[in-house]
Chains A and B, each alone.
Chain A
Amino acid sequence: MLEAQDLRKSFGALTVTNRVSLEVARGERRVVLGPNGAGKTTLFNLLVGELPADSGQIKIAGEDVTALSMDARARRGMARSYQKNNLFSGLTVRENLSLSAACAQGKAKTVAMDSLRDAGVAETVREMASLVGLTELLETSADSISYGARRRLEVGLALASRPRVLLMDEPTSGIGPGGIHAFHALLRGLPAELTIVIVEHDMDLAFDIADRVTVMNFGEVVFDGPPQAARESALVKDIYLGTWAEQP
């Protein structure tokens, strides 16, 4: 469903992603691990088209989208949630979700009707609000809800666009253990055919949901395999825990 081949991105002399390849099957849950600065978010930015790759190729369902803009890739079914909340400030939760649903349902450009009152959009909003646990907050401004609720809305915005491929960048960052448990449940409730690539630092969540794990370090993929193998990999442990140098 999602293929990346030899992706490379540099900022001046600094190479942030180097020959990164990824192949994610339809319905697969892929977890991308790596320490801070490993190039995970840059990889997401390259995949969705927020940043142009210096070289390499990206395909969605076999179609080469490397040259396509960010919005064109989104129209082909690619959605993302951000590491830092990137919501529609000043608008209510309902309006936030409506904008996403209207875009996905081709009702964002019409002058003939109100997308907020459209039955299809309203249905998606209800469904997504229920899925991410925001039904009670639909009429509340996105600026006034708690941080945890905003994280859920962040994911809800991506889901309301009914994507085929969903990229989630640290969806549980900054939320407490209760929120992480709720997020486990949310992920388990998502459609099986949805392809998910997720950057996550919470190891329990990562290994719980992953069909396959990709580990990045210094901009390169250093491990790609099933979760159990990642758990047992000395290299992965070394990257995450570091190696204690023996004192002379």
Chain B
Amino acid sequence: MFYQTPLKTAAILLLLTAALVYSLVAGFFGLEVLTEVAILVIVAIALDLVAGYGGMISLCHGALFGVGAYAFASATVLLGWDASIGLALAILTACLFAWVIGAITARTHGIFFIMATLAFGQMGYAYVFESRTFGGDDGLPGVPRLDLSGLGIDLNDSFNFALLCVALATVAYLLAAALLRSGFGRTLVGIRSNELRMRALGLPVWRHKAAAFAISGALAGLAGALAAQHTMFVSPGLLHWTLSGELLIMVILGGLGTLVGAVVGAGLLVFLKHEVARFTEHWHLVVGLVLIAVVLGGGRGLYGQAEHLWERRQAARKAATAAKETPEHA
């Protein structure tokens, strides 16, 4: 079950502070990287919600991200609608797509669920790739950013846009944490633990899984809309399954089913990508080695391992206190 432990709160505050301090000292390139991380954090949280807490290892979250990006680009570039309407449309479209995928795949498990979500994702990719309306493999350029000039904020400024993405990533974390602490979230964990028993207790499990997938899709759609604004361009690569794979790697690197791990993993993967790429173009090899090390090291991920050690220490302290309070036998 999800609990917003002091360790989680401290880690999130530390990461948020680091992001804000970095935004103040970073140059243009640094702000671009920070924006990329914040956007990936949102979609990684979306994935951890269903994979880590609902047991639904999805390989279509890249596609949901892409659907959000394309919905935003279509609304603003093709239809000329305001970017704020585009943002709402991106969230709603990805949410609806995710609900349909979730409802259809909810009765499948394990490898079959993974393959079904992969198939849905690749269908989306293939459609966009071949669609003239969406620009085919050329994609759609000229995507505008939200207009917050009424508030005196120019989002074409990298600093402002980075801060907006960091703020929305924080909101995404708070929303996901609140959801996981609700009856809905507790039940989702129950489904992950024992789906048959949840059905035996009277829960229409497929509806719950589809709803969780839809909420996750909405977050992925938000991230997609931000990505479209960030690069001001969308292309079919946003829906490709390799992005879904990278998202899974992020969540596993940080710690599946910890929520904070998704944040850590997204930051770590982007850091590795940019830092290692300075020395070699084979940065994927390094990421692969780190992933293997994490999996062989217990599979808890970086934050997950820290949380595990912290919980063990807490338990040991509690046991020691209880032992002290228990009167010795004569």
**Residues in A lying within 8 Å of B, measured CB to CB:** 48, 50, 69-72, 74-75, 79-80, 86-91, 95, 98-100, 102-104, 107-116, 118, 157, 161
Contacts and interface: CB of A to CB of B under 8 A. Distances in A.
24 contacts: A48-B200, A71-B200, A71-B205, A72-B204, A74-B200, A80-B200, A87-B194, A88-B190, A88-B197, A89-B194, A95-B186, A99-B190, A99-B198, A103-B202, A108-B208, A111-B178, A111-B184, A114-B181, A114-B182, A115-B183, A115-B187, A116-B186, A118-B183, A161-B202
A31 to B, nearest CB: 21
B203 interface: yes
A74 B198 CA distance: 10
* 8 pairs of A and B residues whose beta carbons are closest in the complex: A74-B202, A115-B183, A88-B193, A110-B183, A103-B201, A75-B202, A108-B187, A99-B190
B197 A157 contact: yes
Given A50-B196, A86-B200, A113-B183, 15 more contacts: A74-B199, A74-B202, A89-B193, A90-B193, A95-B1, A100-B201, A103-B201, A103-B202, A109-B211, A111-B178, A111-B185, A114-B181, A115-B187, A116-B186, A161-B201
Contacts of B204: 69, 71-72
A150 to B, nearest CB: 13
A114 B199 CA distance: 20
B186 A98 contact: yes
B189 interface: yes
A113 B179 CA distance: 9
A69 to B, nearest CB: 8
Contact of A79 (B182, B194, B200): B200
A80 B181 CA distance: 28
A79 B202 CA distance: 9
B152 to A, nearest CB: 34
B88 to A, nearest CB: 20
A123 to B, nearest CB: 16
B187 A102 contact: yes
A102 B190 CA distance: 11
A99 B201 contact: yes
A221 B189 CA distance: 40
Contact of A115 (B186, B199, B201): B186
Contacts of A98: 186
A74 to B, nearest CB: 3
B209 to A, nearest CB: 12
A118 B181 CA distance: 12
Nearest to A81: B200
Q: Which residue, of A88, A98, A157, has the highest number of chain B Cβ atoms within 10 A?
A: A88
Interface in B210-229: 211
A111 B183 contact: yes
Counting chain A CB atoms within 10 Å of each CB, which of B178, B181, B200 scores highest? B200
Nearest to B186: A115
A115 B189 CA distance: 12
Given A111-B179, A115-B182, A86 B194 contact: yes
A157 B201 contact: yes
B199 A71 contact: yes
A70 B190 CA distance: 17
A113 B181 CA distance: 8
A164 to B, nearest CB: 12
Contact of A114 (B186, B194, B197, B201): B186
A41 to B, nearest CB: 14
B206 to A, nearest CB: 9
A107 B182 CA distance: 9
A95 B198 CA distance: 13
A79 B204 CA distance: 15
Contact of A109 (B187, B189, B197): B187
A161 B179 CA distance: 23
Contact of A91 (B1, B178, B179, B183): B1
A118 to B, nearest CB: 8
Contacts of B205: 71
Nearest to A112: B182
B194 A116 contact: no
Contacts of A107: 183
A70 to B, nearest CB: 5
A108 B194 contact: no
